[in-house]
Amino acid sequence: MKYKKYGEAFLFILLLFLFFIMLTTLLGYFNILSEKTTQLMILFSTMLTLFLGGMYLGKNCEKKGWLEGIKIGLVVIFLFFLISYLGLDQGITLKSFLYYLILMASSMLGSMLGINKRQES
């Protein structure tokens, strides 16, 4: 079961992401948040989700947390890119490239901290 840790981390990321998106959508629907605030909340919740997913993966891996974070970050970013490319026909812009780069850094940092937390315990 070599890939079980990746599946668990991906499921963790997916469930946490869905929770944050539903919360943000509800707050935006009832006009509690403005449109700009909703966009920022989606960005920060996605970053937090990938950070926590990276930490979860980092706690379950043996070494090289940065590499594990890149792996799970690439999978999630590929899915985001696929959904945005097929659904919106936008392609890659500078804004989307920076967004994906921020998400990659977030998952990488989370997995590095996760592996360090595991080694301290």
Of residues 61 and 34, more confidence is placed in 34
Pick from 79, 60, 59, 65: which is nearest to 107 by CA?
A: 65
pLDDT of residue 16: 92
pTM: 0.84
14-30 tens-digit pLDDT: 999 999 999 998 988 88
* Residue 1 scores a pLDDT above 60: no
Q: Which amino acid is at 25?
A: T
Instruction: Name the percent of the chain in helix, strand, coil, to the closest 5.
Output: 85, 0, 15
Flag whether pLDDT at 2 surpasses 70: no
Q: Any residues with CB less than 8 A from the CB of 86 and at least 6 apart, and which? A: none
| Mean predicted lDDT score pLDDT of the chain | 84
pLDDT of residue 90: 65
